[in-house]
Structure 1
Amino acid sequence: MQKFSLLILLMCATQVAAQFRSYSNEFLNIGVDARAFGMGNAVVANIGDVNSTYWNPAGLAQMGDRWQGAAMHAEYFQSIAKYDYLAAAIPLDNRNAIGVSLYRFGVDNILNTTELIDNQGNIDYDRISTFSTADYALQMSYGGNFFNIEDVNFGLNAKLVYRNVGKFANAFGFGLDAGAQYRKGDFAAGIMVRDITSTFNVWSVNQDELNQLTIDGIVLNEPPEETMELTLPKIQLGVSQKVHFSDKFTGLGELDLNFKLRETNDLVSASNLSFSPAAGIEVAYDEMIFIRAGVNNFQKVENFDGNQEFQFQPNIGLGFKYNGISIDYALTDIGDQSIALYSNIFSVKIDMAEFY
């Protein structure tokens, strides 16, 4: 009991010393897989392949005996920022599988002008160098029927985070995600809780390299006093239904609710809770050709005149699957309808079972 009480006390002290950040580790909220983007990210209930490592690790239990790999590359802010994702999943048996995924979101070749002025006050452009700022995450996933509950699978992610701002600062972090899926025939329901343990980052600032800028005794680039930041949990709930139009044509639809434990500009928002819906559909021909559409990111945005405007993000997508290779494309935020980023997303998935 003494050890347990000491652990609780240590956890409470950590919570007090750290601060919750509204936008900590946001690169892990971008999403992966062009199929999911095309469906408005409404896939938490129906996902059942290697990309479950991100959307809901419980979906790994649906892989059967298939070994799968996936990759995605996306660029934002006119290709200034680049986002890369690589994942693999290996079945342990017909109801259990493990996966590993790697994420990087980075901006390269940033000009470092902290040494532009020498000790004599002269401007020397040869002193300009470049650096990169990048966020990395390595994630281990498991999904299976380990509670032996019929039609219900569970999943868990353990993720290591490394964030780097050139030679000036870096951070290490750790966190857990948890998910579950219920499937009965063509109906499915799912829940995904990201950062269920309040993922933390511990920052280290290189004061020697920061080269603090001081004017009239005031430090202009003073580093933050807090060295630890915590990421609040996020919850995604979803239900999906598959329909069979004919022997060749099928349809799939999903409706999700995305919850955040803080006040935001989401469709419904209070002091400690906000949420907005997301919906997606997929029409398939012979499980070979796929057409997708989705809508998400419902927000209330305040204009310069003080009035609020309702915005949402429409998306479309296409997919093609042949001999174990799936190539998917998504066009997000059609017509720049919302404040979200407009982008063309491509991803590829390989089903290794088709090659042996």
Structure 2
Amino acid sequence: MKKIIYGWIVCCLLANTATAQRRIYVNEYLNIGVGAQGLAMGGALSAHSGDIYSAYWNPAGLRKIEANAELGLMHAEYFAGIFKYDYAAAAFPFSNRRRMLAVSLMRFATDNIPYTLDYVQPDGSLDDTKLKGFSAGDYAFLFSYAQSLRKPGSTGNWETGIGVNGKILFRNVGSMANAWGAGLDIGLQTVYKNRLKIGLMMKDITTSYTSWSFNLTEKEKEIFFKTGNEVPIQSYEIMMPRFNIGAGYHFIKPGKAFQVYGELGFDLTTDGQRNTLVKSRNVSGDPKLGVELSYKNTIFLRGGITNIYQAFDNADTSHVKKYTTYQPSVGVGFKVKAISIDYAFTSLQMQDNPLMSHIVSLKVAFISNKKRSETDNTDTNAVPPAEPVTPPVSN
């Protein structure tokens, strides 16, 4: 029954897409987040991220990967399993290890939605052989590049990295509609003495476009006419730039077994007024807070808060009284040699009936035995070491 209702929602969205161009919440599946670490910390990770999931949070963090290759996998379900959310990525370094390449795939979809248009026969009978299913899915393919801006052999308290994402978007609603789009992200990270971290992630910096095309049957067009909707032909959506800013600090000196890290982030959108804590006509801001406690870089405890805003109290029939709501999250992580498993527990912050989601992600680092012995108990988010400089040979 839930998927039948979702099918009607899809049809309504198709009708809306026929005329929609620049509007808020375009391609919002790209802003859910990936990896249990970041989701457990409320999305406050643009400064701290330093593994395969950096392709999403801040591609500059990919430069911190020291393995020969790194693989990341994530699975999550939303709204009682109606929506499936999956992520897979792999990263590979250049020979000098100051530059990294990564490829990622995101999928957010609902499968087996009942297609009931031919289910009811003209005589009122039901023909089960005519009951089909279709999928409505959103995909993103990310191609990432990152490098450290520190010159080989240089020393200093500051280290800065840059990263770039080129992304291809694909959205599909059965055989009825599909869309293609593209975008560009740029990320920056800087670290001071391996303790103070600052990050900036600029999404869709050049403005991204998604072009829709439709392939409706005559029966499907008839439904649009009967329900008073315009039959969609072709349209496009504009995704405005979005900025994720973060600043974090390691409260205990690096090298100690027990570590405490905290990060304050700010998600700035430019597509119009949203229901956020800070908002104006064209720009809206959503603060985020994340904390991570770790022991010997093997056991992690995380927590975060995001999506803070003012909402009307449903019990107040005058619709005047407001209260502050937020989305909390917690999580744990375990690292055994080259394998890391992370878990996050988040809420969709619905006032009357909150829906909880479980997120599990896996990270595998492919490293040589020699490299493994050097990195077993080191911080994976530490700044990559500068390359040694070969002294000139005198004559």
The TM-score with structure 2 as length reference comes to 0.79
Task: Give 2:31's aligned residue.
Answer: 29
Q: Tell me if 1:264 matches 2:266.
A: no
Task: Give 2:333's aligned residue.
Answer: 319
Task: Give 1:115's aligned residue.
Answer: 118
Relative distance call for 1:277 and 1:129 in structure 2 (3 A) is same
SS in structure 2 at match of 1:207 = coil
How far apart in 1 are the matches of 2:148 and 2:306?
Answer: 30
Relative distance call for 1:115 and 1:48 in structure 2 (3 A) is same
Shift of 1:335: 8.2
| C-alpha contact 2:67 2:365 (8 A) present in aligned 1 | no
What is the identity, as a one-letter code, of the residue corresponding to 2:52?
V
Of 280, 283, 297, 2:293 maps to: 283
Q: Tell me if 1:83 matches 2:85.
A: yes
SS in structure 2 at match of 1:211 = helix
Relative distance call for 1:209 and 1:30 in structure 2 (3 A) is farther
What is the identity, as a one-letter code, of the residue corresponding to 2:189?
Q
SS in structure 2 at match of 1:196 = coil
How far apart in 2 are the matches of 1:174 and 1:315?
Answer: 31
Shift of 1:21: 2.8
| C-alpha contact 1:336 1:342 (8 A) present in aligned 2 | no
Q: Tell me if 1:157 matches 2:159.
A: no
How far apart in 2 are the matches of 1:55 and 1:338?
Answer: 31
SS in structure 2 at match of 1:37 = helix
Deviations 1:295-317 (A, max 9, x none): 11112223443233210111111
| C-alpha contact 1:312 1:338 (8 A) present in aligned 2 | no
Shift of 1:257: 0.8
Shift of 1:208: 2.4
| C-alpha contact 1:40 1:296 (8 A) present in aligned 2 | yes
| C-alpha contact 2:150 2:159 (8 A) present in aligned 1 | no
Q: Tell me if 1:255 matches 2:258.
A: no
How far apart in 1 are the matches of 2:298 and 2:352?
Answer: 32
Shift of 1:234: 1.2
Shift of 1:144: 0.9
| C-alpha contact 2:149 2:159 (8 A) present in aligned 1 | no
How far apart in 1 are the matches of 2:160 and 2:87?
Answer: 28
Of 189, 198, 204, 2:198 maps to: 189
Aligned residues with identical type, % of pairs = 38
Relative distance call for 1:300 and 1:67 in structure 2 (3 A) is same
How far apart in 2 are the matches of 1:83 and 1:69?
Answer: 17
Task: Give 2:97's aligned residue.
Answer: 94
Q: Tell me if 1:273 matches 2:273.
A: no
| C-alpha contact 2:51 2:61 (8 A) present in aligned 1 | yes
SS in structure 2 at match of 1:227 = strand
Aligned counterparts, 1:1-356, within 5 A: 19-92=21-94, 93-117=96-120, 120=122, 122-126=124-128, 127-145=130-148, 151-185=159-193, 186-208=195-217, 211-213=220-222, 218=226, 220-224=228-232, 227-244=235-252, 247-261=256-270, 262-304=272-314, 305=317, 306=319, 307-333=321-347, 342-353=356-367
How far apart in 1 are the matches of 2:285 and 2:150?
Answer: 30
| C-alpha contact 1:70 1:348 (8 A) present in aligned 2 | yes
SS in structure 2 at match of 1:299 = strand
Count of residue pairs brought into register by the alignment: 338
Q: CA RMSD in A?
A: 2.5
| C-alpha contact 1:173 1:201 (8 A) present in aligned 2 | yes
How far apart in 2 are the matches of 1:97 and 1:41?
Answer: 23
| C-alpha contact 1:18 1:230 (8 A) present in aligned 2 | no
Of stretches 204-213 and 127-136 in structure 1, the one that deviates more from structure 2 is: 204-213
Deviations 1:214-270 (A, max 9, x none): 59x755453346511111221110011113268311111101111111201100111
Which has the larger share of strand?
1
The TM-score with structure 1 as length reference comes to 0.87
Task: Give 2:11's aligned residue.
Answer: none
Q: Structure 1 unaligned runs (5+)?
A: 1-16
| C-alpha contact 1:50 1:88 (8 A) present in aligned 2 | yes
Shift of 1:55: 0.3
How far apart in 1 are the matches of 2:209 and 2:351?
Answer: 34
Relative distance call for 1:268 and 1:335 in structure 2 (3 A) is closer
Shift of 1:333: 2.4
SS in structure 2 at match of 1:212 = helix
| C-alpha contact 2:77 2:357 (8 A) present in aligned 1 | yes
Shift of 1:66: 4.2
How far apart in 1 are the matches of 2:221 and 2:58?
Answer: 44
Q: Structure 2 unaligned runs (5+)?
A: 1-18, 371-395
Of stretches 271-280 and 63-72 in structure 1, the one that deviates more from structure 2 is: 63-72
How far apart in 2 are the matches of 1:64 and 1:308?
Answer: 49
SS in structure 2 at match of 1:244 = coil
